[in-house]
Structure 1
């Protein structure tokens, strides 16, 4: 969906008039490519609340707020991996508006963070997740980058309780910077971690990632930061976030897949 190029300018002003360019046809919910008059160059992805498909396990009309809350958490913990995302009104009603990384009409050729390789042939510096078979019958292995920034993203996802970390939801821009997108299925109080980034399961957290988690936990004790998240999420979700972060710090390791819950989203890429 989103593709890559320049690093996010700072600050990013997404308050201007939204002009719709076209619909994102491969999105499960209504999502449109648009421009914003206060953004000198580039595009945004606009996801109106009215276009959210009802889900059995998430309250109706809450996905846009979860998208924005993920950006807030990424900033509060110092991950800085989620493009600028705001909740605002637009031509199709209220929704989330997120900076599109790069040029949607000229994607970067090599932005893969997750990939398919012939079975058992994991490239150096990558991590194998699981083996499978293509529709044509070829045996393959799903792999992801073993880079430190991807590892940190896996920790952020565990804190978020991200239930939809597909391979296409993480990408690199033209400068090689990692970005993470599409965070509507996050923050549930019920354990739902579903991701393709399982390559470090059971391994100790790095000092860098422990630092991110401690920074986030400290931020959640601040009334202003807590209020920002409370305004975006259903009651109980922020408290559940704090419990997950506390648990991750206490255990000190990357979580394992839950045997009672589908651990990988479909499709994984």
Structure 2
């Protein structure tokens, strides 16, 4: 993985920096529904931009327990790493200027990419991986603006706080593969996640148990098992909106 998206840092170095560096708030992303702060994180020798979402700034939702969105973002990163796809930028749960929250390395995206056109592609490997990832975490808010293509060609995704519900709530702009056979690449990655979930000592299991409820972790296991068993991309739920609003 190249470091083009993280100001010259590799993902591993970026993860260490957001975990241990000092956070300085530079401003607020006012378009976000929850408190989302643009920060600089520094350890004296290195610095980078990051996003800090304090739990104290989370807006209550009717269908998710209060104060859990930051932990769900960190859980999404754990799933991304278990898949082996680096779908989510380095993300940690830590203390900050406004209390505990999620801190995620800022992705310097490729602003020349037409995100609407990108979201409609059918032969983009990374985009299709994103669709599989969303099915695993039960993402209920995959908007076009949550796609972060980098100058080096890699695709990241952000804003995974409303994920991991027990009930099937997949809501996404990436339905172009519904019902199609999963690729061998996807099945191999799903097998890695299944193995991690079966091992209570794995990094994936430890992280999910820390931030999700028992039934939510069980639901993750069930979704992975179903995907492997049926070997196809899922369909929209008949009684749940299939596309987030607004889609951008």
Relative to the length of structure 1, the TM-score reads: 0.84
CA-CA distance at 1:17 after TM superposition: 1.2
CA-CA distance at 1:170 after TM superposition: 1.0
2:98 maps to which residue? 92
2:30 and 2:145 mapped to 1: Cα distance? 15
Bigger radius of gyration, 1 or 2? 1
Match of 2:178 among 201, 218, 231: 201
CA contact (8 A) 1:205 1:254 kept: yes
CA-CA distance at 1:112 after TM superposition: 3.7
* Deviation sequence 1:122-152 (CA, Å, 0-9, x none): xxxx77xxxxxxxxxxxxxxx3463011101
Is 1:109 paired with 2:115?
no
Go from structure 1 to structure 2 and tell me whether the alpha carbon gap of 1:8 and 1:75 turns closer, same or farther (over 3 Å shift): farther
CA-CA distance at 1:8 after TM superposition: 5.7
Go from structure 1 to structure 2 and tell me whether the alpha carbon gap of 1:145 and 1:45 turns closer, same or farther (over 3 Å shift): farther
Match of 1:248 among 209, 223, 227: 227
1:258 maps to which residue? 237
Q: CA RMSD in A?
A: 1.7
Higher helix proportion (structure 1 or 2): 2
CA contact (8 A) 2:71 2:212 kept: yes
Q: Within 5 A, what are the aligned runs for 1:182-193?
A: 182-193=159-170
SS at match of 2:128: helix
2:157 and 2:144 mapped to 1: Cα distance? 10
2:169 and 2:225 mapped to 1: Cα distance? 17
CA contact (8 A) 1:30 1:51 kept: yes
* Deviation sequence 1:44-68 (CA, Å, 0-9, x none): 0000001111000000000000000
CA-CA distance at 1:25 after TM superposition: 0.7
1:215 and 1:114 mapped to 2: Cα distance? 31
1:24 maps to which residue? 29
CA contact (8 A) 1:114 1:144 kept: no
Is 1:236 paired with 2:215?
yes
2:73 and 2:125 mapped to 1: Cα distance? 24
Is 1:268 paired with 2:247?
yes
Runs of 4+ in 1 over 6 A off after TM superposition: none
2:114 and 2:74 mapped to 1: Cα distance? 24
* Deviation sequence 1:91-127 (CA, Å, 0-9, x none): 011000000011xxxx632234434xxxxxxxxxx77
| 247-256 vs 222-231, which moves further | 222-231
1:219 and 1:8 mapped to 2: Cα distance? 27
1:151 maps to which residue? 128
- Structure 2, unaligned stretches of length 5 or more? none
2:58 maps to which residue? 52
Higher strand proportion (structure 1 or 2): 1
1:145 and 1:29 mapped to 2: Cα distance? 32
CA-CA distance at 1:40 after TM superposition: 1.8
- Structure 1, unaligned stretches of length 5 or more? 116-125, 128-142
